[in-house]
Chain A
Amino acid sequence: MFFTQVLNGLQLGSIYALVALGYTMVYGIILLLNFAHGDIIMVGAYVSWLVMAQLGLPPVLAIILSVAACTLMGVLIDKVAYAPLRNAPRLSILITAIGVSYFLENGAQLVFGADAKVVPAYTELTTVQLGGLSLSFPSILTVLVTVVATVALTVVVQKTKLGKAMRAVSEDMGAARLMGINVNTTISFTFAVGSALAGIGAVLYAMAYTQANPTMGMMLGTKAFVAAVLGGIGSIPGAVVGGLLVGFAEVFVTAIGLSVWKDAVVFLLLIIVLVVRPTGIFGRTMNEKV
């Protein structure tokens, strides 16, 4: 039972981590809390539903199209809503992000209705037998995919030219531009990668929880935001550790029979971190440029 609960925590934490990675990357590069990020996951889940339940196409196609739709959505949101405000005060762009979030939620409600839609199973395999234990296949897959995605992301950011450009833009946008880095392309790329991760998160979410509804991204996004801040916003390992921490905290509180207090405990964690160590676990203290 202990092992199963650990797996439950890992699964929940992994989904938070995937979403938190998107938050953290966008924040790292343009200091924007992209509140629409959770809703991109909702879009991904609906795409899976459309492809499988409505069009009757195979799950592989649903996964590819969901991730592609999320990626496209992320880049599109940046181009339409955020790019024109690149030089505007940070508050304007933050409020725009909240606006985009509401737009997506209500848009989905208008198009798909308020009722939950059931995303068909991606795979016949639901249970894995491991040494006498019955383990849920979506749980194991979620954990594995998150590990792979995190490693891949780290490699992209640390080893590739685009990754180098991302780090440069995040350190000093003006200087990066002077060095010949195409800032807009780099920002678009960041949105694309972050949203692709959200797309993967959407598929894993739909696999585990089987339902898509217009407001599903709201709480998920908020929890992932807490995870990103907890780990140190802007830090990739921070997002993963923060996500796992939030996941384990929820599972622990629920397992001891206090499920009603679950959300309160998560937000209490956020408050404690903000008071004790405002930059988060892996955050660097940054000196404000004068």
Chain B
Amino acid sequence: MFENVSRRNFLQVSAASVALLGLAGCNGSSDSGEGGDASGSIKVGIMGPHTGDNSSYGLACLNGAQLYFKQLNEDGGVNGKQIEPVVYDEKGDATEAVNAYNRLVQEDGVTGIVGDVTTGPTIAVAQASVADNMPCVTPSATAADVVTYGSNYFRACVTDPEQGRVMANFAAEQGYKNVATLYLSGSDYSEGVNAAFCEEAEAKGITITAQESYSEGDVDFNTQLTNIINTNPDAILVPNYYQDDGMIVTQARAQGYDKVFLGVDGWSGIYGGSENYADAADLHDCYYCCAFSSSNDSEVAAQFIEDYEAEYNETPTNFCALGYDAAMVLANGLAAAEEAGLEPGSEDYKQAVIDGIASGTVEGVTGSISYEGTGDPIKSSLIITFAEDGTEETFEVLEA
């Protein structure tokens, strides 16, 4: 979901990683800081962009993670030890993120980190953390690279291509035979979902009747839609953000297309947010997948929504839920290391946390999360649809 951030920050990332190689060389042996103290607390880091352009994402993840640790502490903590979160703001900047990481590891001596939040800084932190073998769980960075540098990095969300595959499975399950797509050319997010969707859909025997694209800033989609509607598809995949999605749905309905639209998590916010980007009447037969929706009626999610509203006095978003789950995943690893009775901060301890995360399963508010040999989670997805008055409804839960 944050590919553009990654590209914008590419130079910073590169610079940070070069700087890092030097640091990693110097600090390779001095990283066994204190993971907790005698009084029995466990320090964990939470980092993200808490100020600046991406602060809404960073703060949402922070709130979610802190809520989880607070509840965990009230329930007695991990192995009788209280979790002590240490929070750093990296301002959405890769260099700042690596600095924050180094402070967390060297000065604060944390045993695990929830973060980073957006793709660019997360890649920088992921590269830095390999040498320390520091267990990290990113709530929300979706780029494939993030979990490829070492076995210590995990994510709580699914990748962009995975969302494409989820929607292809959904399309096959619904019995759509012909599907067309309309994606944003030049966006890693949109193109990534589109490519994965088409590959998986064709493998499932669905015919892709048309793949149309448009450019950033376009407002007239009529030409592409005329081409698409002419191929008479059962459904149209629109893997974009809500402002474009709204215009596309409106224009397609005006051209008389009354069948299905498929989307991914960028659709979140198309109706009922700050603006209604499409008419409720036009949003019939629209389905998109996401990790979390406030319409989710599962017991865990309903409890989370209630707790979150009580704590922060606002309705939790997708990112709040992912922050909460990332904290839960990390705590699950910590519990495994504590059970083994290892000394906090030691190499064995960190490895035990990583093994604990990799082999465990947690029932998060965004679904059940487990790992199979990589840092990418195996988790269920929600399929969201719209009621007649435009409010979101959970259509079904697709198990992984």
Do A137 and B212 touch (CB < 8 A)? no
Residues of B within 8 A of A275 (CB): none
Residues of B within 8 A of A8 (CB): 220, 222-223, 226
A260 contact from B186, B217, B274, Cβ within 8 A: B186
Name A5's closest neighbour in chain B (CB-CB): B226
Q: How far is the CA of A4 from the CA of B215 in the complex (A)?
A: 21
Name B277's closest neighbour in chain A (CB-CB): A118
Q: How far is the CA of A1 from the CA of B75 in the complex (A)?
A: 64
B123 CB to nearest A CB, Å: 27
Kindly state whether residue A134 has any CB partner on chain B within 8 Å.
yes
Query: Interface-forming stretch among A143-151, A208-216, A237-245?
Result: A208-216
Could you tell me the dominant secondary structure of chain A's interface residues?
Answer: helix
Residues of B within 8 A of A11 (CB): 222
Q: How far is the CA of A250 from the CA of B214 in the complex (A)?
A: 12
Q: How far is the CA of A71 from the CA of B275 in the complex (A)?
A: 28
Q: How far is the CA of A95 from the CA of B169 in the complex (A)?
A: 56
Do B215 and A118 touch (CB < 8 A)? no
Q: How far is the CA of A12 from the CA of B217 in the complex (A)?
A: 15
Q: Mark B271-290, 1 if CB is under 8 A from A, else 0.
A: 00011110100000000000
Kindly state whether residue B227 has any CB partner on chain A within 8 Å.
yes
Q: How far is the CA of A251 from the CA of B214 in the complex (A)?
A: 12
B246 contact from A4, A139, A210, Cβ within 8 A: A210
A233 CB to nearest B CB, Å: 24
Kindly state whether residue B106 has any CB partner on chain A within 8 Å.
no
Name B257's closest neighbour in chain A (CB-CB): A134
Residues of A within 8 A of B226 (CB): 1, 4-5, 8, 255
A116 CB to nearest B CB, Å: 5
Kindly state whether residue B185 has any CB partner on chain A within 8 Å.
yes
Do B223 and A211 touch (CB < 8 A)? no
Do B256 and A209 touch (CB < 8 A)? no
A210 CB to nearest B CB, Å: 5
Do A257 and B212 touch (CB < 8 A)? yes
Q: How far is the CA of A127 from the CA of B274 in the complex (A)?
A: 27
Do A136 and B222 touch (CB < 8 A)? yes
Residues of B within 8 A of A260 (CB): 185-186, 213, 215
B11 CB to nearest A CB, Å: 25
Residues of A within 8 A of B251 (CB): 136, 208-209
Do A127 and B275 touch (CB < 8 A)? no
**A262 and B247 contact, Cβ closer than 8 Å, known pairs A5-B226, A134-B255:** no
Do A138 and B254 touch (CB < 8 A)? yes
Name B222's closest neighbour in chain A (CB-CB): A8
Interface residues of A in 1-50 (CB under 8 A from B): 1, 4-5, 8-9, 11-12
Do A126 and B253 touch (CB < 8 A)? yes
Q: How many residues of A contact B (CB 8 A)?
A: 35
Q: How far is the CA of A127 from the CA of B251 in the complex (A)?
A: 10
B258 CB to nearest A CB, Å: 9
Residues of B within 8 A of A134 (CB): 255-256
Q: How far is the CA of A5 from the CA of B185 in the complex (A)?
A: 21
Interface residues of B in 210-236 (CB under 8 A from A): 212-215, 217-220, 222-224, 226-227, 230
Name A11's closest neighbour in chain B (CB-CB): B222
Kindly state whether residue A164 has any CB partner on chain B within 8 Å.
no
Kindly state whether residue B41 has any CB partner on chain A within 8 Å.
no
A208 contact from B212, B220, B253, Cβ within 8 A: B220
B272 CB to nearest A CB, Å: 12
Do A126 and B246 touch (CB < 8 A)? no
Do B213 and A136 touch (CB < 8 A)? no
Q: How far is the CA of A116 from the CA of B255 in the complex (A)?
A: 23
Do B256 and A127 touch (CB < 8 A)? yes
Residues of A within 8 A of B55 (CB): none
Do A12 and B275 touch (CB < 8 A)? no
Do B246 and A136 touch (CB < 8 A)? no
Q: Mark A249-287, 1 if CB is under 8 A from B, else 0.
A: 011001101011011000000000000000000000000
Q: How far is the CA of A263 from the CA of B215 in the complex (A)?
A: 9
Residues of A within 8 A of B246 (CB): 118, 210-211
Kindly state whether residue B361 has any CB partner on chain A within 8 Å.
no
Q: How far is the CA of A94 from the CA of B217 in the complex (A)?
A: 26
Kindly state whether residue B12 has any CB partner on chain A within 8 Å.
no
Q: Mark A210-242, 1 if CB is under 8 A from B, else 0.
A: 110000100100000000000000000000000
Do A259 and B224 touch (CB < 8 A)? yes
Kindly state whether residue A153 has any CB partner on chain B within 8 Å.
no
Do B215 and A211 touch (CB < 8 A)? no
Do A1 and B230 touch (CB < 8 A)? yes
Kindly state whether residue A115 has any CB partner on chain B within 8 Å.
yes
Q: How far is the CA of A63 from the CA of B325 in the complex (A)?
A: 49
Name B214's closest neighbour in chain A (CB-CB): A259
Do B254 and A12 touch (CB < 8 A)? no
A211 CB to nearest B CB, Å: 6
Kindly state whether residue A167 has any CB partner on chain B within 8 Å.
no
**A136 and B220 contact, Cβ closer than 8 Å, known pairs A1-B226, A259-B185:** no
B255 contact from A127, A257, A259, Cβ within 8 A: A127
Do A211 and B243 touch (CB < 8 A)? yes
Residues of B within 8 A of A263 (CB): 215
Q: How far is the CA of A12 from the CA of B213 in the complex (A)?
A: 18
Q: How far is the CA of A8 from the CA of B185 in the complex (A)?
A: 21
Kindly state whether residue B99 has any CB partner on chain A within 8 Å.
no
Do A219 and B247 touch (CB < 8 A)? no
Residues of A within 8 A of B220 (CB): 8, 12, 208-209, 250
Kindly state whether residue B133 has any CB partner on chain A within 8 Å.
no
Do A259 and B230 touch (CB < 8 A)? no
Q: How far is the CA of A134 from the CA of B254 in the complex (A)?
A: 8
Q: Can you list 28 A-B pairs, Cβ within 8 angstroms, ordered by A?
A: A4-B226, A4-B230, A5-B226, A8-B220, A9-B223, A117-B275, A118-B246, A126-B254, A127-B253, A127-B254, A134-B256, A136-B222, A136-B255, A137-B254, A139-B254, A210-B247, A211-B246, A211-B277, A219-B217, A254-B224, A259-B212, A259-B213, A259-B214, A259-B218, A260-B186, A260-B213, A262-B215, A263-B215
List 15 additional contacts besides A1-B227, A115-B275, A260-B186; criterion CB under 8 Å: A5-B226, A8-B220, A8-B223, A12-B222, A115-B274, A121-B279, A127-B256, A134-B256, A136-B251, A137-B254, A210-B250, A211-B277, A259-B215, A259-B218, A263-B215
Interface set of B (CB-CB < 8 Å, partner A): 185-186, 212-215, 217-220, 222-224, 226-227, 230, 243, 246-247, 250-251, 253-256, 274-277, 279
